[in-house]
Amino acid sequence: GPLEEVSLPLYFGWFLLSSIQDKIKCTSMDFLKTLDTLEAFKKHLIDFSGKAEEVDLEQYFQPTGILHCTTKFCNYGKAEGAKEYAEKQAVKDSYGSLFDLSLSALFVTPRTFGARVSLTEEQLQLWPADAEKQVESVPAAASLPLGSRAHVTLGCAEGVEPVQTGIDLLEILTLQQEGQQGEQVEEMELGTLTYYGTGKWLLNLREPISAPACFSSFYG
């Protein structure tokens, strides 16, 4: 019946507590502001606007709602493996529990702005085995470690869906795995900024941000 059809959520994930959401929003906006002013960034502006014209990154990325790290996108049961995921013992046991997420890097592409999440062994119990393997556009991501796709979407360019954030992260990590060092452009207060080409920027945080988050689901 219709009730069964809606019994699975749009997605499962960790939802950041509101106090840390504010802190992350501040930190990430400061980062965008600084990135905008760097000569190295200005040199590659064409990746963002198609022209060598200035962009205001704070305006360029639209916020996408409550900050969270998606574990399983279920699409109300229509996504492959949704039911199996919801029935996993680890998912049932952890539902409603508080976790401590470690945000280890910030990344920016012409499409998305996100934070990389480094999952612990315990947190990986909630991570779907095929999350890295589903991305057709980044086939090499299948050989990345489990949990590589874990992220918090901080903003998307106009017309870009949030699912793109994890794909952009996988692209950067694939380049790293292939041995691309990237171009270390700047030591910032927050950490080391590296450029991976075609508009891909990664800031490895000197001090990871510890973010308390509740494992739950979103129905929309």
- d(Cα 46, Cα 42) in Å, to the nearest integer? 8
In the complex, which residues of this chain contact ligand A2P (CB under 6 A)?
Answer: 10-11, 70, 73, 153, 161-163, 165-166
In the complex, what is the shortest distance from the CB of residue 211 to ligand A2P, in angstroms, rounded to a whole number?
A: 15
- d(Cα 51, Cα 28) in Å, to the nearest integer? 25
Q: Give the Å distances, CA to CA, from 193 to 40, 49, 159, 200, 206.
A: 10, 21, 27, 11, 11
Q: Give the Å distances, CA to CA, from 144 to 5, 38, 132, 163.
A: 34, 31, 7, 18
- d(Cα 142, Cα 32) in Å, to the nearest integer? 30
In the complex, what is the shortest distance from the CB of residue 162 to ligand A2P, in angstroms, rounded to a whole number?
A: 3
Question: Which C-beta is closer to ligand A2P: that of 41 or that of 202?
Answer: 202
Question: Which C-beta is closer to ligand A2P: that of 109 or that of 153?
Answer: 153
End-to-end, the C-alpha distance of the chain in Å comes to 20
Instruction: For residue 145, give the DSSP letter.
Output: P
In the complex, what is the shortest distance from the CB of residue 32 to ligand A2P, in angstroms, rounded to a whole number?
A: 18
User: Which entry of 44, 68, 72, 200 is annotated as an active-site residue?
Assistant: 68
In the complex, what is the shortest distance from the CB of residue 54 to ligand A2P, in angstroms, rounded to a whole number?
A: 27
Element of type H or E holding 101: strand 98-108
151 an active-site residue?
yes
Question: Which C-beta is closer to ligand A2P: that of 15 or that of 188?
Answer: 15
Question: Which C-beta is closer to ligand A2P: that of 44 or that of 110?
Answer: 110
In the block, which residue shows the tokens 């976790």? 99
User: Which entry of 72, 116, 151, 200 is annotated as an active-site residue?
Assistant: 151
Sign, Cα dihedral of 107, 48, 35, 13: negative
Q: Which residues are catalytic?
A: 68, 151
